[in-house]
């Protein structure tokens, strides 16, 4: 194995899902729903399989899907992208992230990202020979810039970063900032003020932005603000590659259909890389995702409301079981501090949890460069049926 990949072992998601299977535990680790997405989408995929849409589709994705992606961004974010040249379909957001970094970063270029970060970020940055410059998100972080302070401290469940730390992370080698909002694993939704500062620094340092917005439809109604794509801020559309995926919004994480949108020169650079990573992506799933993206607004709000109820159920259950819970504003995930239950280390806690009470969670410590920052935090997924969440809570109560 090449040196640059040696620091990366088996992903925590694979380890924890295998542990769940081996022990028969309730799996609130890896983030995947346990029920299917919209029936119209599933029917369209079956129809495409039956009607011979089974050979290589065009490299950037079928035109109908690219048009649907453009239309969806216009409808929800008033963002205009040309389906011919400004949008490329990828093998999930994962390929879009890797291809974007590989297309933009020279050896030694720096990538600013927020830790804890989604696990593929560090590996994609390493594969490109680039260097990550993490900025730490901390629960209720207190710092000098009053605009960005999470006022109620950690009790309000918000993670925040220190603006001085972000400023210091930018420098002459900064090539891009990799931003994930709504954020996995914290459930944080970056506020307009936070986004404005990130945009200001990108403009100041002439850096690109790669935005991972796979949870764009999962911002709950009581969040401080709605989802604001970084590309909508002044001067940002021309320097941003905006990434999303069908997996989360349409409960089909196993389909791996994602996409990247941006100005033509950047998207064509991504396509240059993408053609040698996967060439093209699963043909019969593309017309189906096009159907899903065109569903009425009520699908998207209904989906969000449903997940919000599940969040409320799990947050209440975890609190009841004695966890110190940081309630999320978006995504599939809630994080909790295990100190209140006597836990000293999230990794040890999660490895012993199936045996202690038959539940699997994910330690978020593994998503930090500085493990100390996330030492006692663990993540639970609530994208599960209410009866599954309720069973998990019953089991977790045994810990007290
Ligand atoms: N980014 C984030 C923040 C994620 O949580 C995930 C996992 N679903 C991905 C990217 C990968 O998405 P996909 O499965 O579409 O590759
Ligand atoms: N995005 C999901 C999570 O964070 C699954 C990721 C994966 O298995 N690679 O749990």
The ipTM is 0.97
Q: What is the pLDDT of residue 155?
A: 45
Give the residue from 197, 297, 190, 177 showing the smallest Cα distance to 242: 177
Residue 306 CB contacts under 8 Å (≥ 6 apart), including other chains: none
258 in ligand 1 pocket by Cβ < 6 Å? yes
Q: Which of 17, 22, 47 is nearest to 34 (CA)?
A: 17
Q: Is the CB of 13 under 6 A from ligand 2?
A: yes
Shortest-distance ligand to the CA of residue 360: 2
Considering only CA atoms, which residue is closest to atom 3 of ligand 1? 184
Contact between residue 359 and residue 25 where contact means Cβ atoms under 8 Å apart: yes
Q: How far is CA 218 from CA 8, 182, 367, in A?
A: 29, 7, 21
Name the token pair of 322. 């004695």
Q: Is the pTM here over 0.90, yes or no?
A: yes
Q: Which helix (H) or strand (E) holds 112?
A: strand 110-115
Are 378 and 187 within 8 A, CB to CB?
Answer: no
Q: Is the CB of 184 under 6 A from ligand 2?
A: yes
pLDDT at res. 400: 81
For the chain, domains (ranges, CATH) are 3-37+298-399 (3.90.1150.10), 39-295 (3.40.640.10)
CA neighbours closer than 13 Å in the CB half-sphere of residue 398: 11
Q: Which ligand is nearest to the CA of 113?
A: 1
Which-ligand-closest: CA of 245?
A: 1
> H helices of the chain, where?
12-23, 39-50, 63-77, 92-104, 119-127, 163-169, 192-204, 246-249, 264-277, 285-293, 297-320, 346-357, 386-396
**Alpha-carbon gap, residue 343 to 348, rounded angstroms:** 8
Per-residue pLDDT of the chain (400 residues; tens, 9 = 90+): 999 999 998 899 999 999 999 999 999 999 999 999 999 999 999 999 999 999 999 999 999 999 999 999 999 999 999 999 999 999 999 999 999 999 999 999 999 999 999 999 999 999 999 999 999 999 865 433 444 443 333 445 589 999 999 999 999 999 999 999 999 999 999 999 999 999 999 999 999 999 999 999 999 999 999 999 999 999 999 999 999 999 999 999 999 999 999 999 999 999 999 999 999 999 999 999 999 999 999 999 999 999 999 999 999 999 999 999 999 999 999 999 999 899 999 999 999 999 999 999 999 999 999 989 999 999 999 999 999 999 999 999 999 8
Q: How far is the CA of 380 from the centre of ligand 1 (A)?
A: 16
Q: Does the C-beta of 76 come closer than 6 Å to ligand 2?
A: no
Distance 214 CA to ligand 1 centre (A): 6
């Amino acid at each position: 194995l090449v040196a640059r990949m040696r620091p990366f072992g088996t992903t925590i998601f694979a380890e924890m899902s295998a542990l769940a299977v081996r022990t028969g535990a309730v799996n609130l680790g890896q983030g995947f729903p346990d029920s299917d997405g919209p029936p119209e989408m599933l029917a369209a995929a079956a129809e495409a399989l039956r009607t011979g849409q089974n050979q290589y589709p065009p490299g950037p994705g079928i035109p109908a899907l690219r048009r649907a992606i453009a239309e969806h961004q216009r409808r929800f974010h008033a963002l205009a992208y040309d389906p011919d040249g400004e949008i490329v379909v990828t093998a999930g957001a994962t390929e879009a992230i890797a291809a974007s970094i590989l297309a933009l970063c020279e050896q030694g270029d720096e990538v600013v990202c927020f830790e804890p970060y989604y696990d593929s970020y560090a590996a994609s940055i390493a594969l490109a020979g680039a260097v990550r410059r993490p900025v730490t998100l901390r629960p209720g972080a207190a710092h000098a810039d009053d605009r960005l302070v999470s006022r109620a401290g950690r009790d309000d469940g918000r993670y925040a970063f220190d603006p001085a730390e972000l400023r210091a992370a930018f420098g002459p080698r900064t090539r891009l900032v990799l931003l994930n909002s709504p954020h996995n694993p914290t459930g944080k939704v970056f506020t307009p003020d936070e986004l404005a500062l990130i945009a200001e620094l990108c403009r100041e340092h002439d850096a690109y932005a790669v935005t991972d917005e796979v949870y764009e439809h999962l911002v709950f109604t009581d969040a401080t603000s709605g989802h604001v794509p970084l590309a909508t801020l002044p001067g940002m559309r021309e320097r941003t590659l905006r990434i999303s995926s069908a997996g989360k919004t349409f409960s089909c994480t196993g389909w791996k259909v994602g996409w990247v949108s941006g100005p033509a020169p950047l998207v064509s650079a991504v396509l240059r890389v993408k053609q040698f990573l996967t060439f093209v992506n699963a043909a019969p799933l593309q017309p189906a995702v096009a159907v899903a993206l065109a569903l009425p607004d009520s699908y998207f709000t209904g989906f969000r409301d449903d997940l919000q109820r599940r969040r409320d159920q799990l947050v209440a259950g975890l609190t009841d079981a004695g966890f110190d819970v940081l309630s999320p504003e978006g995504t599939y995930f809630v994080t909790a501090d295990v100190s209140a239950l006597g836990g000293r280390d999230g990794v040890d806690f999660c490895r012993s949890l199936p045996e202690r009470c038959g539940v699997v969670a994910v330690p978020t410590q593994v998503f930090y460069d500085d493990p100390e920052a996330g030492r006692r935090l663990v993540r639970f997924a609530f994208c599960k049926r209410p009866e599954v969440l309720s069973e998990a809570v019953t089991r977790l109560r045994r810990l007290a």
